[in-house]
């Protein structure tokens, strides 16, 4: 923990005024001027002592931030505790300090800070800073600075605390046009599979077999005649319809510098790769909302393929994999694994620039990042090329320019 005293612009102006009064008082030898000089010096001394006593018993803890997404606000919360039994704390500002390296939060979003008006003795107050991510990736937080200018705004007392944490920023999601996922996904792959729970609300009426009674099974599914014959409880096992299954493949085997992009094109090679990642995230998001079982493969990155699943946790895991892709890392010329190519699922292959038929199955749907405008309606959330809604008017004008 580092403690510092600063003289910001109001403090420097106050010091200048105090020196001017001191010079005039020495020249004029006026009692009133000496009294004013004493008040000014006392205020300066009191400001430093009071702010120092307040900050001495202060403890700040950053709560683990949830993963965010481009186009959505990221709320970072702080728990501020005043361990002093006598003195309260006033006018506390908390701001994050930049982190060196490619994973620092300042590379992904603009600075933000929180303000706490009052903390009583032995009390804990929570503050919240709202960040607006403009890029995907891993946002690492480390040092945070807590400062105050109480009581007179002359001396700025600050402490710097190290609290290493990180959060993932998911890619920008787009709202797909109507029936895009249903049109791209193969038809006729839905079948039947065994219901894992006897009281599954979506279990069908097709008979599959019988099994032993398990704790938690509904009494309505017990085969009473068969149970009486076997002298043990036996349940009827039924099938339930299987949802459509889809695998999304993002082709990142070609390095950024080797992408075949026309120099006159409005999209740079890196921008096309980011669009391909956002398109994959948007398809996964839409397919998951429509009840699809979705998997993800990232050839060229060395990351393992995700199995076909349908759950909120699985969706977040795939979006986290897309958020963590390092486009500056060496590319691997590895095709989609043979196990995933033999799956009985629909397959969508997304390419940054041009279609490469060697990636994916022969009957796979191939999309490129240039088709983004024909597949999406708008971005979900605010456009990262514009200033966030909470930005001041000056910052909005700069973002628009």
Q: Which CATH number belongs to the domain containing residue 291 in this structure?
A: 3.40.50
pLDDT at residue 400, rounded to an integer: 38
Is this prediction's pTM over 0.85? no
Q: Which domain holds residue 258?
A: 174-188+244-379
Domain shared by 356 and 266, yes or no: yes
pLDDT at residue 78, rounded to an integer: 94
Domain shared by 152 and 296, yes or no: no
Q: Which two tokens stand for residue 399?
A: 């973002």
Chain CA centroid to CA 352, Å: 23
Nearest-CA neighbor of 300 among 359, 348, 346, 340? 359
Q: Return the DSSP state at 133.
A: B
Domain shared by 47 and 59, yes or no: yes
pLDDT at residue 204, rounded to an integer: 53
pLDDT at residue 310, rounded to an integer: 87
Cα 11 to Cα 2, 106, 201, distances in angstroms: 21, 29, 68
Q: How many domains does the chain have?
A: 3
Q: Which CATH number belongs to the domain containing residue 146 in this structure?
A: 2.60.40.10
Domain shared by 199 and 178, yes or no: no
**8 belongs to a structural domain:** yes
What does each of the 401 residues of the chain score in pLDDT, given as a tens digit?
Answer: 666 666 677 778 888 888 998 898 888 888 888 898 898 888 888 888 888 888 888 899 998 777 899 988 999 999 999 998 888 899 999 999 988 777 788 889 889 999 999 999 999 999 999 999 989 999 999 999 999 888 888 888 888 999 999 999 999 999 998 777 777 665 544 444 444 444 444 445 567 788 888 887 788 888 888 888 888 898 887 766 677 888 999 999 888 888 887 766 778 889 999 999 999 999 999 999 888 889 999 998 888 889 888 888 999 999 999 999 999 888 887 655 555 666 778 889 999 988 888 888 878 889 999 888 888 888 887 766 665 555 544 444 344 34
Domain shared by 8 and 102, yes or no: yes
Determine the Cα–Cα distance for residues 62 and 163; give it in Å rounded to an integer.
Answer: 7
**401 belongs to a structural domain:** no
Determine the Cα–Cα distance for residues 216 and 218; give it in Å rounded to an integer.
Answer: 6
Q: Which residues pair with 76 in a beta bridge?
A: 129
pLDDT at residue 194, rounded to an integer: 45
**205 belongs to a structural domain:** yes
Q: Which two tokens stand for residue 65?
A: 């931030």
Looking at 136, 171, 206, the residue that finishes a domain is: 171
Domain shared by 162 and 39, yes or no: yes
pLDDT at residue 296, rounded to an integer: 93
Domain shared by 102 and 15, yes or no: yes
**384 belongs to a structural domain:** no
pLDDT at residue 340, rounded to an integer: 63
CB atoms closer than 10 angstroms to residue 382: 19
Domain shared by 249 and 351, yes or no: yes
**98 belongs to a structural domain:** yes
**251 belongs to a structural domain:** yes
Q: Return the DSSP state at 229.
A: H
């Amino acid at each position: 923990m580092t403690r510092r005293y600063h003289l910001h612009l109001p403090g420097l102006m106050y010091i200048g005024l105090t020196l001017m009064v001191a010079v005039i008082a020495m020249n004029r030898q006026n009692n009133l001027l000496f009294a004013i000089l004493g008040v000014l010096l006392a205020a300066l001394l009191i400001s430093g002592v009071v702010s120092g006593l307040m900050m001495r018993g202060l403890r700040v803890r950053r709560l683990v931030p949830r993963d965010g997404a481009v186009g959505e606000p990221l709320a970072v919360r702080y728990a501020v505790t005043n361990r002093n039994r006598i003195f309260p704390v006033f006018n506390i500002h908390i701001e994050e300090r930049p982190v060196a390296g490619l994973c620092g939060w300042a590379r992904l979003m603009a600075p933000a800070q929180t303000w706490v008006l009052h903390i009583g003795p032995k009390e804990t107050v929570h503050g919240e800073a709202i960040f607006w991510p403009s890029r995907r990736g891993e946002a690492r937080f480390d040092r945070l600075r807590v400062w105050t200018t109480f009581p007179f705004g002359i001396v700025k007392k600050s402490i710097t605390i190290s609290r290493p944490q990180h959060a993932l920023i998911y890619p920008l999601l787009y709202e797909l046009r109507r029936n895009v996922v249903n049109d791209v996904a193969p038809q006729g792959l839905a079948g039947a599979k065994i219901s894992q729970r006897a009281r599954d609300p979506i279990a069908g009426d097709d008979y599959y077999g019988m099994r032993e009674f398990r704790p938690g099974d509904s009494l309505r599914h017990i085969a009473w005649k068969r149970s009486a014959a076997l002298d043990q409880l036996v349940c009827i096992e039924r099938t339930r319809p299987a949802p459509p299954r889809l695998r999304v493949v993002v082709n990142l085997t070609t390095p950024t510098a080797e992408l075949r992009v026309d120099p006159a094109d409005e999209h740079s090679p890196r921008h096309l790769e980011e669009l391909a990642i956002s398109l994959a995230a948007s398809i996964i998001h839409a397919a998951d909302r429509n009840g699809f079982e979705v998997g993800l493969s990232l050839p060229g990155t060395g990351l393992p393929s995700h199995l076909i699943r349908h759950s909120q946790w699985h969706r977040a895991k795939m979006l986290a994999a897309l958020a963590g892709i390092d486009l500056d890392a060496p590319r691997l010329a590895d095709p989609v694994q043979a196990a995933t190519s033999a799956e009985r699922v629909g397959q969508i292959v997304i390419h940054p620039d041009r279609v490469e038929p060697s990636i994916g199955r022969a009957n796979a749907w191939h999309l490129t990042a240039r088709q983004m405008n024909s597949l999406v309606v708008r971005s979900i959330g605010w456009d990262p090329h514009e200033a966030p809604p909470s930005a001041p008017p000056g910052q909005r004008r700069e973002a628009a320019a």
